[in-house]
Amino acid sequence: MDIFEDTAPAPGNQPEYTVSELSGAVKRVIEGEFGLVRVRGEVGRVSRPSSGHLYFDLKDDRAVIAAVSWKGQVARMQVRPEEGMEVVATGRMTTFPGQSKYQLIVEDVAPAGAGALMAMLEKRRAALQAEGLFDPARKKPIPYLPGVIGVVTSPSGAVIRDILHRLRDRFPRHVLIWPVAVQGEKCAPEVAAAIRGFNAIEPGGPIPRPDVLIVARGGGSMEDLWGFNEEIVVRAAAASPIPLISAVGHETDTTLIDFAADLRAPTPTAAAELAVPVRLELLATNDALGARLSQALARGFQLRGQRMRDLARALPRPESLTGTARQRLDAAEGRLAGALGLMAARKRSGFEAVAGRLRPETLAGYLDRRREAVTARLARLESAVQRRTDHAHARFDKWASRLAPALARLIGDQARIAREGRQRLATLEARLDAAPRARLQVLSQRLAALDRTRQTLGHAETLKRGFAVVRADGAVVTSAAGAARAVALDIEFADGRVAAVPVKGAAPPAGRSRKSDGGGGPDQGSLF
Amino acid sequence: MTEKPVAEMTFEEAMAALEAVVGQLERGDVALEASIALYERGAELKKHCADKLAQAEARVEMIRAQEGRAVGTTPAEGL
Residues of chain B in contact with residue A290, where contact means CB-CB under 8 angstroms, are 42-43, 46
Judge whether A521 lies within some domain: no
Cβ burial A325-344 (10 Å sphere, 16+ → b, else e): eeeeeeeeeeeeeeeeeeee
Q: Is A110 helix (H, G, I), strand (E, B) or coil?
A: strand
Higher pLDDT, A458 or A182: A182
Please report whether residue A225 resides in a domain.
yes
Residue-wise pLDDT for A398-409, tens only, equals 888 888 888 888
Same domain, A63 and A160: no
What global pTM score does this model have? 0.51
Domain coverage including residue A145 = 138-277
Question: Which of residues A316 and A92 earns the better pLDDT score?
Answer: A92
pLDDT at B48 over 70: yes
A193 in contact with B, Cβ within 8 Å: yes
A160 and A108 in one domain? no
Q: CA-nearest residue of chain B to A169?
A: B58
A298 closest CA partner among B20, B42, B25: B25
pLDDT digits (tens, 9 = 90+) for A186-218: 899 999 999 999 999 999 889 999 999 999 999
pLDDT the model gives residue A9: 52
Question: pLDDT-derived band of residue A515, with 50, 70 and 90 as boundaries?
Answer: very low
Do A297 and B65 make contact, defined as CB atoms within 8 angstroms? Answer: no
Same-domain pairing of A27 and A151: no
User: For A207, which residue in chain B has the nearest alpha carbon?
Assistant: B72
- Complex-level ipTM beyond the 0.85 threshold: no
Chain B partners within 8 Å of A206 (Cβ): 72
Q: Are A259 and A129 in contact (CB under 8 A)?
A: yes
pLDDT value of residue A56: 93
**How close B1 gets to chain A, by Cα (Å)?**
15
Looking at the 3D structure of chain A, how many domains does it have?
3
Note whether residue A7 is domain-resident. no
Instruction: Report the distance separating Cα A44 and Cα A83, nearest Å.
Output: 5
Instruction: Identify whether A306 is part of a domain.
Output: no
Please indicate, yes or no, whether residues A61 and A166 belong to a single structural domain of this protein: no
Rounded CA-CA distance A78/A234 in Å is 16
Given a contact cutoff of 8 angstroms between Cβ atoms, the answer to whether A180 and A152 are in contact is: yes
Confidence grade of residue A23 (pLDDT, cut at 50, 70, 90): very high
C-alpha to C-alpha distance for A161 and A276, rounded to whole angstroms: 16
Query: What pLDDT band is residue A438 in, cutting at 50, 70 and 90?
Result: confident
Q: What pLDDT is attached to residue A312? A: 86
- Residue A137 and residue A124 in contact, taking contact as beta carbons nearer than 8 Å: no
B residues 17-76 lying closer than 8 A (beta carbon) to A: 18-19, 21-22, 25-26, 28, 30, 32, 35-36, 38-39, 42-43, 46, 49-50, 52-53, 56-63, 65, 68-70, 72-73, 76
Q: What is the pLDDT of residue A516?
A: 44
Instruction: Give yes or no for residue A245 having a pLDDT over 50.
Output: yes
pLDDT of amino acid A149: 95
User: pLDDT at position A85, please?
Assistant: 83
Q: Which residues of A touch B43 (CB under 8 A)?
A: 290, 293
Distance between B65 CA and the closest CA of chain A, angstroms: 8
For residue B42, give the chain A residue with the closest CA. A293
Rounded Cα gap, residues A124 and A119, in angstroms: 9
Kindly list the residues from chain B whose CB atom is less than 8 angstroms away from the CB atom of residue A197: 63, 65, 68-70
* Closest CA in chain B for residue A144: B12
Same structural domain, A146 and A271: yes
Contacts of B25 (CB under 8 A, 6+ apart): A293, A296, A297, A300, B35, B38, B39, B42
Q: Using the beta-carbon criterion (under 8 Å), do B25 and A296 form an inter-chain contact?
A: yes
Confidence (pLDDT) at A359: 77
- Contact between A254 and A122 under an 8 Å Cβ cutoff? The reply is no
Query: What was the pLDDT predicted at A526?
Result: 46
Angle made by CA atoms A192, A193, A199, in degrees to the nearest 5? 95
Chain A CB contacts of B46 under 8 Å are 286, 289-290, 293
Mark whether A102 and A177 lie in a shared domain: no
Q: What is the mean pLDDT of residues A77-104?
A: 88
User: Any chain B CB within 8 A of the CB of A289?
Assistant: yes
- pLDDT for residue A521 is more than 50: no
Q: So what's the pLDDT on residue A513?
A: 45
Spell out the SS3 assignment of A295-352.
Answer: HHHHHHHHHHHHHHHHHHHHCCCHHHHHHHHHHHHHHHHHHHHHHHHHHHHHHHHHHH
Residues A147 and A50 occupy one common structural domain: no
Average pLDDT, chain A: 85
pLDDT in tens, A290-304: 999 888 888 888 888
The CATH number of the domain holding residue A52 is 2.40.50.140
* Residue A448 in domain: no
Residues A60 and A106 in one domain: yes
Question: Which residues in chain A have Cβ-Cβ distances shorter than 8 Å to B22?
Answer: 289, 292-293, 296
Mean pLDDT of chain B: 85
Boundary residue ending a domain (A112, A128, A156): A112
Element (H, E) at A186: none
Q: Which of A277, A299, A325 is the last residue of a domain?
A: A277
Residue A169 lies in a domain: yes
Mean pLDDT (whole number) for A522-528: 45
Which residue from A164, A178, A293 is facing B25, i.e. has the nearest CB? A293
* Domain final position from A226, A259, A277: A277
Pair A178, A249 in one domain: yes
Model confidence at A520, in pLDDT bands (50, 70, 90)? Answer: very low
> In which band, very low, low, confident or very high, does the pLDDT at A528 lie, cut at 50, 70 and 90?
very low
Q: What is the model's pLDDT at position A512?
A: 46
A99 and A190 together in one domain: no
CATH number for the domain harbouring residue A272: 3.40.50.2300
- What's the rounded mean pLDDT across residues B29-41? 86
A178 and A92 within one domain: no
Give residues with Cβ within 8 angstroms of A97, minimum separation 6.
Answer: A20, A23, A24, A26, A27
Confidence of residue A7 (pLDDT cuts 50, 70, 90): low
Residues A177 and A60 placed together within one structural domain of the fold: no
Indicate whether A373 belongs to any domain. no
CB-nearest to B61 from A176, A286, A304 is: A176
Nearest one of A462, A490, A465, A464 to A476, comparing CA atoms: A490
Rounded to whole angstroms, the Cα distance separating A82 from A56 reads 9
Q: Which of A283, A284, A278, A230 is nearest to A257 (CA)?
A: A230
Q: Is A305 on the interface with B (CB under 8 A)?
A: no
Q: Flag whether A284 is in a domain.
A: no
Q: Do the Cβ atoms of B79 and A164 come within 8 Å?
A: yes
Q: Over 70: is that where the pLDDT of A74 sits? A: yes
A287: Cβ contacts below 8 Å, ≥ 6 apart? none
Q: A292 near A281, Cβ under 8 Å?
A: no
- Which domains can be identified in chain B, with CATH numbers? 6-65 (1.10.287.1040)
What pLDDT, on the 0 to 100 scale, is given for residue A506?
A: 53
Residues of A within 8 A of B41 (CB-CB) are none
Is the confidence at residue A514, as pLDDT, over 70?
A: no
The predicted pLDDT at position A523 comes to: 46
Residue A527 — very low, low, confident or very high, per pLDDT cuts 50/70/90?
very low
A319-372 pLDDT tens trace = 778 888 888 898 888 888 888 888 888 998 888 888 777 777 878 888 889 999
How crowded is residue A131: how many other Cβ atoms within 10 Å of its Cβ? 12
Candidates A166, A189, A176; CA nearest to A275 is A166
